[in-house]
Amino acid sequence: LAFNVALILLAYLIGSVPFAVVVSKVMGLQDPRSYGSKNPGATNVLRTGNKTAAALTLLGDAAKGWFAIWLAEKIAPGIPAGALAAVALAAFLGHLYPVFLGFKGGKGVATALGVLVAIQPWLAVATAATWLIIAVFFRYSSLASLVAAFFAPVYYVFGSGLAWFAQPAMGVALAIIGVLLFYRHRANITRLLQGTESRIGGGKKQ
């Protein structure tokens, strides 16, 4: 048990690494917590106009979600499903409440995507495709994230047939991640309803 707790803590620490802040600092950009939505995430970094920095943020924040789970499976082969689900949730919570940023982190979209890649690559592809379709049609990153967060657990349950029922831990973790994604987007939801949300590539100040 102590070993599993250590793996969960490690996942939390990995999830805590804030790539939006790190990449911005390294590339000499402003801290993303000081402009736009003030969110340390790929979408907000893109508001600087620097696509490379935004792509690196997306890549880093997704990679850490994937890496935390990959590492747990590597260190502890045959780790119980419940513990692995806790590792996934811990990496995600690390991004939302990072110890390195005074517990004020991001919204968790990219990190959740990385978690999906580690759990089931097809699930990540389907969810990312959902995000892309909404983003292309409506050009709201937040709306795309919300729709993707709703559908990911649905895809998971349908995609794994009755298997998820026998081993529900990861499904429950994904549902919690989905709910937390909505909770972290509550300011975006208000702006979407008011029609004041900024569009991707719109350059509209908020």
24 binds ligand NKO (CB under 6 A): no
| Options 11-19, 63-71, 73-81, 148-156: segment touching ligand NKO (CB under 6 A) | 148-156
Distance CA 53, CA 34 (A): 16
Distance CA 153, CA 204 (A): 32
Among 84, 91, 149, 170, binds ligand NKO (CB under 6 A): 149
148 binds ligand NKO (CB under 6 A): yes
37 binds ligand NKO (CB under 6 A): yes
Among 14, 56, 58, 69, binds ligand NKO (CB under 6 A): 58
Q: What mask of x and - would describe binding to ligand NKO in positions 106 to 145, judged by CB under 6 A?
A: -x-xx-xx--x----------xx--x---------xx--x
Name which of 12 and 198 has its Cβ closer to ligand NKO. Answer: 198
CA distances 118 to 75, 79, 84, 86, Å, are 15, 14, 11, 14
Helix segments in the chain, DSSP class H: 2-15, 19-26, 42-46, 51-75, 81-96, 109-119, 121-138, 141-159, 163-166, 169-184, 186-194
Residue 94 and residue 16 in contact, taking contact as beta carbons nearer than 8 Å = yes
How many Cα neighbours within 13 Å face the side chain of 191?
17
Distance CA 75, CA 71 (A): 6
Q: 72, 49, 71, 55: which is closest to 19 by C-alpha?
A: 55
CB of 112 to ligand NKO, least distance (A): 4
The total of other beta-carbon atoms located within 10 Å of residue 122's CB is: 11
Name which of 14 and 180 has its Cβ closer to ligand NKO. Answer: 180
CB of 171 to ligand NKO, least distance (A): 11
Name which of 58 and 72 has its Cβ closer to ligand NKO. Answer: 58
42 binds ligand NKO (CB under 6 A): yes
CB of 48 to ligand NKO, least distance (A): 12
Q: Which residues bind ligand NKO (CB under 6 A)?
A: 36-37, 39, 41-44, 58, 107, 109-110, 112-113, 116, 127-128, 131, 141-142, 145, 148-149, 152-153, 174, 177-178, 181, 188
